[in-house]
Amino acid sequence: MDIRTLAVHAGTIQDETAGAVTNPIFLSTTFERSPEGQIRPKGFVYTRDTNPNRQALEKVIAAMEGGGEALAFSSGMAAVLTVFQTVLKPGDHVLISDDCYHGVVHLLTERYPQWQVSFSSADMTNINSLRNALRPETKLIMVETPSNPQLKITDLAAVAALAKERGITTACDNTWATPLITRPMDFGIDIVIHSTTKYFGGHSDVLGGAVVVRKENPILPELRDFQNVGGAVPSPFDCWLLTRSIATMPLRVMQQSTSAAIIAQALVGHKKIEKVFYPGLTDHINHEVAARQMKNSFGAMLSVLLHGGQKEALAFASRLKIFRHATSLGGVESLIEHRLTAEGNHPKSPDNLMRVSIGIEHPDDLLKDLLQALA
């Protein structure tokens, strides 16, 4: 079935009590055993292990990623942490992309040295620089494509092939592309990670994360165990909200991406703008890989460099009337953010970079707003 059909139906709970068409919410933390003390056939015991709403959410996320098994977490960072805890042991090295989500850099810089896990970064859009950065103790390559905030596109098939040769596990943070545009496991990536806070949730009102692997991936049982005993699990209500939002996710992401392409193109060459980063633009450094790897569209995120440095960049944001100046992305409302400020202790963005998340408003209104703020 098409992803739009799966998005509506793959997370449905068959409600035997009332025949409800939409999913009931099972707030119960615990589930009654049979008279013999056995777990009932549905397998529910305690909500930290699993819960009908979490199971429904995991089913629909796995279906969207093209099969396998999904594990839901209370945030994207909890998903990343669980992958690291499962894959990495003392003495191991993890390679991340040089344009990686700042929270991951923070985790590896501040929290992991005490576990003797080291990391380094590489420009993963260049397979030679990736190859040169590998060490004998590299256990995990973590890719992010499109990257944050420069929208670099990594060739997932090339990374997966190199990693397989060396027996290294690969993970891809697919938050920005979403499975509507890229399904990393189709390119040979072992582990898919999401911050479901973004496009899956889509309304900036629920935090969540997910990890997806093929059923035959030998790390699945250990991931499940960490999910349960680590305890960074989403509440039944958060699972329900996410499952509800996923039904409209294909429509939202497609509209948002269409609008982003229109807006990115319209901003190119504007006299106040030094550069537009959008993988759909033919002059984007990785446009060729993007055109090959990204289906349907090039996503709904873009970044711009403004002439005049940080002062001009912030002044531009303050003149916007529809765009809200806030962090995060993927919601129905358009957001703009001065990325350097958000990066805190691990700054990497130029001071004149503004990151833009395109929402579902009419693209004409969004463009008009951007142009009046640039004028």
- The binding site for ligand PLP (CB under 6 A) comprises 75-77, 101, 103, 144, 148, 173, 175-176, 195, 197-198, 207, 209
The separation between the first and the last C-alpha atoms of the chain, rounded to the nearest angstrom, is 47
Cβ 192 to ligand PLP shortest distance, Å: 12
Cβ 354 to ligand PLP shortest distance, Å: 16
Compute the radius of gyration of the chain from its Cα atoms: 21
Is 355 a residue of the active site? Answer: no
Spatial neighbors of 17 by CB under 8 A, at least 6 apart, are: 24
Is 15 a residue of the active site? Answer: no
Cβ 47 to ligand PLP shortest distance, Å: 20
Cβ 79 to ligand PLP shortest distance, Å: 8
- Closer Cβ to ligand PLP, 151 or 207, answer by number: 207
Query: In whole angstroms, what is the distance from residue 261 CA to residue 358 CA?
Result: 10
Residue in 173, 190, 238, 369 annotated catalytic: 173
Residue in 54, 59, 183, 198 annotated catalytic: 198
Residue in 4, 48, 214, 275 annotated catalytic: 48
Q: Which residue, judged by CB position, is nearest to ligand PLP in the bound state?
A: 76
Cβ 101 to ligand PLP shortest distance, Å: 4
- The pair of structure tokens assigned to 202 is 């889509």
Give long-range contacts, CB 8 A cutoff, 24+ apart: 186-191.
Answer: 186/66, 187/156, 187/157, 187/160, 187/293, 188/156, 188/157, 188/160, 188/161, 188/164, 189/143, 189/156, 189/159, 189/160, 190/160, 190/214, 190/217, 190/219, 191/83, 191/87, 191/217, 191/219
Residue type, 17: T
- Closer Cβ to ligand PLP, 99 or 155, answer by number: 99
Query: In whole angstroms, what is the distance from residue 283 CA to residue 292 CA?
Result: 15
Residue in 54, 101, 152, 369 annotated catalytic: 101
Is 173 a residue of the active site? Answer: yes
Query: In whole angstroms, what is the distance from residue 199 CA to residue 247 CA?
Result: 11
- Closer Cβ to ligand PLP, 13 or 57, answer by number: 57
Is 101 a residue of the active site? Answer: yes
Q: Please list the active-site residues.
A: 48, 101, 173, 198
